[in-house]
Structure 1
Amino acid sequence: MPVRKKQDQVCRQCHRVLESDKESCIVCLDSSLSTDWQGYLIIIDPKRSAIAQRMNIDLPGRYALKVR
């Protein structure tokens, strides 16, 4: 029987990708999480990233581009 990996969740508010076992976002504390998302973005230095500035990202981490 194949092992199924739990799907990562994304915060609908800040778009941060979270581990599948989280119940709320660790950054904005929003409990509205989704498994329906597209695009994967890794921000290393938000102060020097034009994409991070456009998405209003202040902290390094993994983010989704589109969340439903």
Structure 2
Amino acid sequence: MGEQVCRECHRILSSQTCPICGSSNLSSDWSGMVVIIDPERSEIAKKIDVKVADKYALKVR
């Protein structure tokens, strides 16, 4: 089984529930990835509204 993505916050997960938003609404159909290391200083994190450092999908279907 490949990595799943939370449809709510777009975080790439290896579990069945998102620890950030608590959602279990996951998708395996996603594309593009961005790794946020320092969300407070990252312009990309601000644009995609990310507050926690991790891997995120850019597009989730």
Q: TM-score, normalised by structure 2?
A: 0.95
Gaps of 5+ in 1: 1-5
Runs of 4+ in 1 over 3 A off after TM superposition: none
Where does residue 49 of structure 1 map in the other structure?
Answer: 42
Q: Highest Rg: 1 or 2? A: 1
1:18 aligns with 2:13: yes
- The alignment-based identity, stated in percent, is 49
1:59 aligns with 2:28: no
Gaps of 5+ in 2: none
What displacement does 1:31 show? 0.9
Q: Which of the residues 22, 35, 53 maps onto 2:28?
A: 35
